[in-house]
Structure 1
Amino acid sequence: MKRLLIEELILWKNKQGRKPLILQGARQVGKTWLLKTFGAECFEEICYINFEQNNSVNHIFEGSINPERIIEQLSVFHGKRIQPEKTLIIFDEVQEVPRALTSLKYFTEEAPEYAICCAGSLLGVALHQGTSFPVGKVEFLTLQPLSFREFLLANGEELLLNYVMNGNLDTNAFTEKLQEHLKRYFIIGGMPAAVQSWLDTQDFFEVEKIQEQLLSAYEGDFSKHAPSNLIAKIRYVWQSIPSQLAKENKKFVYGMVREGARAREYEDTLMWLHDTGLIRRIYRVRKPDVPLKAYEDLQSFKVFLLDVGLLRVMSGLSPKVFIEGSRIFEEFKGALTEQYVLQELSLFPQLNANYYWTSDANAEVDFLFSDGLYAYPLEAKAGNNVHAKSLKVYDKEYNPQLLFRTSLLPYEKNGKLVNIPLYLLFALPKVLTL
């Protein structure tokens, strides 16, 4: 499976002033696989260190964390001399050895010629537990589950993707094929193990077994890694997410987590889940203006999962829904569609799409994003029903440059209303330039 983030890793390798890189992301999204693939393709050697599996190497970081000393000992451990620019050093599960994380500062300052990439499950949580973190001395990339574009690549649709990425948004001849792939993606999602299971078996129910195992592993992590005072609350929040999203108004309601629950009791819980990459949050804005962050309402937000396939399993929606036309896009109050749209928008951090808007009445626009100059509304429609009253309310009140809607209808620009098919959302940055 091709992961598009490898292109960013290649840019990191070749740039001036390169710093050690931390690859962030939830467990099981393929961080280790990606770094090893990157090393095999772009370096002569890989020195791979897993701090969780091999405790003996941890002693290297107990004394001085002078880079020269560390490289000398790592070379002995590796069995070959680590060469600047030719050897990729991978620190996996780096959160297990905080001094290894701290050593990155000294590599930046004293030995920047060594290429170091780190990965670690629950790394975001480790950073909140007193670790001496090398602020400003490292770079970050985030790996997410496979996007729909990567899912198409995995399913052999490279020519079709190239056609679209070259600016050809008229895909009427391929609509049925793209919609079928999208329906599969809603069921399978983008967790690499689930996608691989589909490629190997073409069996949705085998895929679901993998997804259930992933969800069980995540719940096991709550007890293993979370602070003891948060474990029960984390389970309550986690298990409430499907019911939170089954509402017409998907705003997160603490009372649905547990009767009588209050924000102050659960904010640390939400932060823990967010830091581990298991949930995504989007916030309401009081005013849709640039910069959007200046107008966010921290008291009003929605909570989604990291992956649309996992949300489908948690919601109890059977893979059999695949055979029933466009039903999968509409079930569950369109929550799977909104989950998918959020995942696709999050691939473009420059668009700053972690927001939604509501009027004083009942109008609600599902997403807002910005190109830095203007804020744009985007309404996510599940299927072919595209009546968008909220967009009309928004347009009347704020008169934006463009209005966006995503649905199963073909690409069309009618005045300032732009309809982007759900299966072409990965082309949104190109649409903005048309």
Structure 2
Amino acid sequence: MKRDLLGDLDDWFGRDNRKPLIIRGARQVGKTWLVRAFAEKRFENMVEINFDLNPEKADLFASRDVEQILRLLEVDLDADILPGRTLLFLDEIQSAPEVIPLLRYFFEKIPRLHVVAAGSLLEFVLSKHTFSMPVGRIEYLFMGPMSFSEFLAANGREKLCRFLAGYCLDDPLPQSIHATFLGLLTEYCTVGGMPAAVQAYSQSGDVRLAAREQSSILQTYRDDFLKYGDRIDARLLGTVFGAIPRLIGQKLKYVNIDRNARAKPLADCIDMLEMARVIYCVTHSAGNGVPLGAEKNTKDRKPLFLDVGLLCCALGLKATELHLAEDLVLVNSGAVAEQFAGQHLLYAGESYAEPELCYWNREQRSSSSEVDYLFAHGSQVVPVEIKAGKVGSLKSLHVFAAEKGSARAVRLNTDIPSRCMVSSSVASKPSQPFELISLPLYLIGETNRLLTQQDSA
């Protein structure tokens, strides 16, 4: 398999001001595989320590003298550690949090040594740490599930990947190629982007084997609940985790999770699942300008699951149900399409920045409106609606464009790509002309590139 983040690691490798790197992401998204593939490509050897499997190895890092640490590691592991030629990989570093502050000394004393750490549940350590964090002396890289294009590459469809990467909005898109992509989109939504599920499917072509891996991953996440802390109710945590898949695309209301539970414990459970990165809460933003996070309302949220394949598994949706659906956008009241789009937009930004995604709504008795997602394209706020049907049915996009003066908007569906000029039609509001760009869901990974092309056209 190939991950796009290998390119980010290549950039990190070649920088003179490189700092120790911590890769952050949920369990099972492929952090360890990524580092091993990077090491095989770039280094003579790799020294790997897994603190979860070998917690006693933390004793080797008892000193602040990194030269001494390296000598001890070489003896203990019977390996050579050569700056510029060896990758030092500290896996599951959350199991040895006392090692994290020492990363600064590798940067200060041996900057030529490439040091990468990785961890899941790392946020729990960082949120309650009592040590001094090496601010300005470490870098982060955030990792999510495999994208649709990575899924295509893993299944030997490199030509299709290149087609997507080179597609321009005014290029013709034959119906036969469009149909092929829609079929593969449905496959992706069934299998998802968790590497174990993708690998099982790519090697066998059997979605049942992918489903077995998905079930195992979901159970692993449940087994982790006891690691979240002794003050959390594991039973309630399980209830929340089980409820989130059926709430995708809906405003988060505690009564829809457990009407008998108190708000504070439910809020704590949601926070814990977010810290573990197995869910993400998309937050309302006023959407007046960038950065979108500057106008967030954290009380107005809607949940995303980590991965669309895990979502379908948790909901019990079978591959046949997705393939037989008239339109993927309509499956499960649009939740599958909204999850697919959301997880791609969430990780569409720079890999070194904390992933962030917002949406917009306006609640009024007579005319409520909601735009599924907002994202920043340069200095522009671009609204995104996931919707089948005609231009005139995009009421919320019209409302947003009229209120915010939007120059463009994106509609995601399962039709051939198109673009046209539209004038907003909202009572008591001046008409606002904007460009409506309609893209099939499978082009979501190219959205920013396509908008940039339009900017320079």
Q: Which residue of 1 aligns with 2:125?
A: 126
Q: Does 1:403 align with 2:409?
A: yes
CA 1:404–1:353: 2 relative to 1, 3 Å: farther
Please state how far the C-alpha of 1:226 moved relative to its aligned partner.
Answer: 3.4
Equivalents in 1 of 2:4, 2:222: separation in Å?
29
Q: In the alignment, residue 291 of structure 2 is paired with which amino acid? A: P
Cα deviation for residue 13 of structure 1 reads: 0.9
CA distance in 2 between partners of 1:396 and 1:58 (Å): 58
Change (3 A) 1:355 1:158: same
Find the counterpart in structure 2 of residue 240 from structure 1: 243
* Distance in 1 between residues matched to 2:116 and 2:412, nearest whole Å: 37
User: CA 1:340 to 1:323, structure 2 compared with 1: closer, same or farther past 3 Å?
Assistant: closer
1:202 to 201, 205, 226: 205
2: CA distance between counterparts of 1:391 and 1:369?
A: 14
Q: Look up the match of 2:346.
A: 346
Equivalences for residues 29-428 of structure 1 within 5 A: 29-62=29-62, 64-132=63-131, 133-169=133-169, 170=171, 171-172=173-174, 173-245=176-248, 250-349=250-349, 354-359=357-362, 360=364, 361-381=367-387, 383=388, 387-415=393-421, 416-428=435-447
C-alpha displacement at 1:71, in angstroms? 0.9
Label 1:131 to 1:6 Cα distance change in 2 as closer, same or farther (>3 A): farther
Query: Secondary structure of the residue that 2:407 maps to in structure 1?
Result: coil
Q: CA deviation at 1:264?
A: 3.2
Instruction: State whether residues 91 and 117 of structure 1, in contact with CA within 8 Å, keep that contact through their aligned partners in structure 2.
Output: yes
SS in structure 2 at match of 1:127:
helix
SS in 1 for 2:127: coil
Structure-1 separation of matches of 2:110 and 2:236: 44
Report Cα offsets for 1:213-232 as digits up to 9, x if no partner. 11111100102443343423
Opposite residue 232 of structure 1, the aligned amino acid is R
Q: Identify if the C-alpha distance between structure 1 residues 11 and 55 changes in structure 2 by more than 3 Å, giving closer, same or farther.
A: same
Query: Which structure 2 segments of 5+ residues have no match?
Result: 422-434
Greater displacement, 316-325 / 93-102: 316-325
Query: What amino acid does structure 2 have at the position aligned with 1:334?
Result: G
Answer yes or no: is the 8 Å Cα contact 1:25–1:144 preserved in 2.
yes
Partners of 2:329 and 2:386 within 8 A in 1:
no
Contact 1:321 1:328 (8 Å CA) reproduced = no
Change (3 A) 1:327 1:402: closer
TM-score by length of 1: 0.94
Task: Report the TM-score when normalising by structure 2.
Answer: 0.89
Q: 1:384 to 1:324 in 2, by over 3 A?
A: farther
1:156 shift after superposition:
1.6
Is the Cα contact below 8 Å between 1:353 and 1:367 reproduced in 2? no
Q: CA deviation at 1:187?
A: 0.5
- 1:254 is displaced (CA, Å) by 0.9
Contact 1:353–1:370 (Cα < 8 Å) also in 2: no
Q: More deviation in 274-283 or 257-266? A: 257-266
> For residue 395 of structure 1, what is the amino acid of its counterpart?
A
Structure 1 distance, partners of 2:301, 2:288, is 15
Q: Name the amino acid aligned to 1:212.
A: S
Aligned residues: 429
Counterpart residue type for residue 233 of structure 1: L
CA distance in 1, matches of 2:342, 2:379: 21
CA contact (8 A) 2:83 2:110 kept: no
Distance in 2 separating the partners of 1:106 and 1:425: 41
Alignment correspondent of 2:432: none
Residue 448 of structure 2 is matched in structure 1 by 429
Partners of 1:269 and 1:25 lie apart in 2 by 18
Aligned equivalents of 1:355, 1:50: Cα separation in 2: 35
Contact in 1 for aligned 2:44/2:86 (Cα 8 Å): yes
Aligned partner of residue 304 in structure 2, secondary structure: strand
SS in 2 for 1:331: helix
Segments of 5+ residues of structure 1 without an aligned counterpart are: none
- What is the distance in 1 between the residues matched to 2:262 and 2:16? 49
Q: How far apart in 1 are the matches of 2:230 and 2:190? A: 33
CA deviation profile, 1:29-48 (whole Å, cap 9, x unmatched): 11111101100101111011
Contact kept? 1:51, 1:96, Cα under 8 Å: yes
